[in-house]
Structure 1
Amino acid sequence: MFSLPPLLPPARASAQPLPRALACLALIATGALVALAAWYPGQWQVLLLLLPAVWSRVRGRTSAFAIWIGYYLAGARDIPVVCMRFFSGYRELTQPEALVLGVAFWIAQACVLATPWALLKPDSDSSATRHALCATIATVLVTVPPLGIIGWLSPAYVASALFPGWKAPGLVLGMTATACAAAVSRARFAQRMATLLVILSLLARSVASAPVVPSRWTALDTRLGRFDQSSYASLYARTQQVQAIAQRAFSESATVVVLPEEIVGLWRPAMSYWWRDDIQAFATAKRTLIVGMDLTASVTPFRYSDSAVIVGADHGRLDSRQPVPAALWRPGAAVSAVRGSLTQPYVMVAGKSVAFSICYEDLLWWPHWRILLRSPDVLVSLSNGWFDSDLALAHIQRQGIAAIARLSGVPLLRAVNR
């Protein structure tokens, strides 16, 4: 006689995937909550330490992946809407097509940035040292190129909250804090190191002071929206608007005026003619204008630089080291922005050394490596957010560049077009 096997064990086995799925959903939600608390609408970047702490305690790579994908999905939640507005605004795609592309970008970036944390997740019985080392390596991988090209929301931002004004040593200590968070529950040495870091953080915060922007320097926000460059009539109308804004600021006693990224669009021979008298007047009056524009690099294929240009009493330029991927920076396409050199020096303006951050660079660490080694007198940020000014992304971008300025102890001047 043959008897049927008992039914209870298979029933228990089939029930196991549900609790595992619920655990992953809970971890995704945890990562999302940390993103909201650390970034907009929250302002508590120190809570980024919760991510490596939880990551070190979970079991398996799937769980490790879950917490980080939740973080990156929540933090970059505006990508679908931004893509829809940008690509449809320039009539490159219809709104539905642009939205689908945005959703694909949104999911892809979260998967790419969460993958190092999953692949480097040590076994549960691994040492505290291994957890600390893997957390450090993962942080570096998602902060510097090639993955760092989309390295927004990096855990390295915790350094600016803990060690304001401490520059490169502060960044190293911030990375050490991330490593300790991954190991603190596993070793007394990590707990002692964490205690030391808390003491150093309290010291750094107690002696930190708010940097002062140079007198009579001003950055102007504008509400000119998307620039239609399809006709000379629209080009001339925008030129008159921008000239009036700059002249009004100088008439109110400003000596250095900063205008947003790409506010005058692509610099053409006609625009050089329209601006000639104003630039000469600025130079005669010892006034300096910093303005965002695109400069032609080559005609076939068409390449241009997204630049900050200094005219008037001072002269110079800085090219964006990382234009927005897919939107502006499109290697291999017929039209693309080009990347400026990472070794571009500071520009001297009115006797002050000036570092620049152009739009997308506000969200990244690596283009600003120089200011962590030798602080400039001013950090100038130019942005053109006509497509995201009402979204969380605009606030997160401002938080990102403010954190870099805070860590380097440099005053920040920021001009944004909405």
Structure 2
Amino acid sequence: MRRDYLRAMLLIFASIAIGAVGWSGHVMLLPVAIGFPVVWSISQSRLVAALVSTGYFLAASHGLPQGVAAFYSSDIWPGLLLWLCASISFVIVHAVSWTKKAGARPFCYLLAVVIMALPPFGITGWAHPVTAAGVLFPGWGWWGLGLMTASLAGLVTRMWPAVAIALAGLWLWSAAIWTDPKLPEAWRGVDLELGASLGREAGLQRQRDLIATVRGAAGDNARFVVLPESALGFWTPTVERFWTGALGDGDATVIAGAVVADARGYDNVLVSIDSKSVRILYRERMPVPGSMWQPWRSWFGESAGARADFFANPVVSVGAGRAAPLICYEQLIVWPILQSMLHDPDLVVAVGNGWWTEGTSIVSIQRAATTAWARLFAKPLVTSFNT
């Protein structure tokens, strides 16, 4: 009994270490996350598998409580509650999927992999080990994703040491030849350090400052300039006229985050602005659950917060090409990027407004995950974040 207890504790501590290191925000450490299925598979009971899953998920998302506290300007308790609630779906899926039958275990784990990649459970499907495919199989595309999935299944069999050794070899080779996704020609992503004021300070001077930033970037031979999520604040006719007037004498196209609101809620969007036209380019498929997406509020006749379009607009036309946009939270989960890749876009555009993540690795994790996916499918990547 004591030996079983000690083994369980070691497995739980191992899962915590795997989650913390694999999701520390460094792209080359993402393959550490594939240690989770090994630890999960050698758990001696369903309870231990649940505790292992809890340890991994909470460690991987350990920046959430502090980030939520900063977002709401509150103490740590609301963040801790959201942290625990978010882990429930991951823990339930992996606890239910666990089995003592070695022959059935790969199929059960693959089922968990698929469930956590798609809605509804995929809505909180952070820290998905399949994200490491971009590091282990860069440029392999769907073949690489298939090999990664097969490798995850192999890691829950008795042959896991051989599979782990093979993956370790691929990891070392990838680290030796690694290059980040290239920036598309004529594109510029602008990072800002405006903190919580971005999107909230709606004064004319802020808009002038952003326009000056765009002109500075466009002066470097950029035809497309990307600004972070919520950069323009609420998208109103006044803001639209101001920006179209300011860009009327230039050739650059600005792609910037904004919010379009009505009586029923709001959309978190990307707006495309050039000298000839203005349009809503993209509506976020999956806003942050809880803080932005609050569908339960409509049951009480209140505004439902940000709308989730789930499977809408996976790619958008920009100039002569097509882009796969990802706004903030979409970079942490699996199905938005895979849905976009089904349409074979020319590039990936990832934006975020991470002022509330100061002191955490959340933005670094977003960058790492997006980089990995772009490398897997050999797509150029444009990023723009506010911190």
Query: Structure 2 length as normaliser, TM-score?
Result: 0.89
- Give the corresponding residue for 2:319: 350
- Give the corresponding residue for 1:407: 376
Distance across 2 between alignment mates of 1:325 and 1:340: 13
Give the CA deviation at 1:55: 1.8
Give the CA deviation at 1:289: 0.6
Is the radius of gyration larger for structure 1 or structure 2?
1
1:216 aligns with 2:186: yes
1:141-194 Cα offsets, whole Å, 9 max, x none, are 2221111101110121132222212222221211110000001448xxx95x78
- Give the corresponding residue for 2:255: 290
Contact 2:315/2:340, CA 8 A, preserved across alignment: no
Unaligned runs of 5+ in 2: none
Give the letter for the 2:260 counterpart: L
Give the CA deviation at 1:365: 1.0
Structure 1 residues 329 and 398: CA distance shift in structure 2, 3 A: same
Structure 1 residues 21 and 106: CA distance shift in structure 2, 3 A: farther
1:241 aligns with 2:209: yes
Structure 1 residues 228 and 250: CA distance shift in structure 2, 3 A: closer
Structure 1 residues 245 and 87: CA distance shift in structure 2, 3 A: same
1:275-301 Cα offsets, whole Å, 9 max, x none, are 2311323xxx321111110112x32x3
Q: Secondary structure at the match of 1:183?
A: coil
**Aligned pair partner of 2:149 in 170, 175, 178:** 175
Q: Mean alpha-carbon deviation: is it higher for 217-226 or for 22-31?
A: 22-31
Give the letter for the 2:323 counterpart: V
Give the letter for the 2:87 counterpart: A
**Aligned pair partner of 1:307 in 269, 272, 277:** 269
- Give the corresponding residue for 1:396: 365
**Aligned pair partner of 2:110 in 136, 143, 148:** 136
Distance across 1 between alignment mates of 2:274 and 2:356: 30
1:278 aligns with 2:246: yes
Contact 1:168/1:373, CA 8 A, preserved across alignment: no
Give the CA deviation at 1:197: 7.4
- Give the corresponding residue for 2:283: 319
Q: Mean alpha-carbon deviation: is it higher for 333-342 or for 73-82?
A: 333-342
Give the CA deviation at 1:131: 1.2
**Aligned pair partner of 2:87 in 102, 107, 110:** 110
Structure 1 residues 228 and 204: CA distance shift in structure 2, 3 A: closer
Distance across 1 between alignment mates of 2:219 and 2:132: 41
Distance across 1 between alignment mates of 2:205 and 2:113: 47
Give the CA deviation at 1:139: 1.4
Distance across 2 between alignment mates of 1:40 and 1:206: 20
Give the CA deviation at 1:137: 0.9
1:64 aligns with 2:33: no
**Aligned pair partner of 1:250 in 218, 234, 238:** 218
Contact 1:173/1:197, CA 8 A, preserved across alignment: no
Structure 1 residues 26 and 110: CA distance shift in structure 2, 3 A: farther
Contact 2:253/2:273, CA 8 A, preserved across alignment: yes
- Give the corresponding residue for 2:131: 157
Distance across 2 between alignment mates of 1:78 and 1:197: 28
1:98-150 Cα offsets, whole Å, 9 max, x none, are x2121111122223312222112111xx23x3111111111112221111101
Structure 1 residues 376 and 237: CA distance shift in structure 2, 3 A: same
- Give the corresponding residue for 1:40: 24
1:378 aligns with 2:354: no
Query: Structure 1 length as normaliser, TM-score?
Result: 0.82
1:206-256 Cα offsets, whole Å, 9 max, x none, are 99875532222110001112137778xx43232122112112222333211
Contact 2:285/2:312, CA 8 A, preserved across alignment: no
Q: Secondary structure at the match of 2:295?
A: coil
Structure 1 residues 205 and 272: CA distance shift in structure 2, 3 A: same
Structure 1 residues 343 and 82: CA distance shift in structure 2, 3 A: same
1:327-361 Cα offsets, whole Å, 9 max, x none, are 11111333311123524152232322211001110
Relative contact order, CA 8 A, sep 6+: which one is greater?
A: 2
Distance across 1 between alignment mates of 2:377 and 2:80: 35
Give the CA deviation at 1:380: 0.6
1:346-399 Cα offsets, whole Å, 9 max, x none, are 223232221100111010110122343343221011100111143111211111
Structure 1 residues 244 and 41: CA distance shift in structure 2, 3 A: closer
Q: Secondary structure at the match of 2:350?
A: strand
Q: Secondary structure at the match of 1:405?
A: helix
Structure 1 residues 166 and 332: CA distance shift in structure 2, 3 A: same
Contact 2:198/2:231, CA 8 A, preserved across alignment: no
Percent sequence identity is: 27
Distance across 2 between alignment mates of 1:26 and 1:225: 41
- Give the corresponding residue for 1:363: 332
Distance across 1 between alignment mates of 2:132 and 2:217: 36
Contact 2:189/2:227, CA 8 A, preserved across alignment: yes
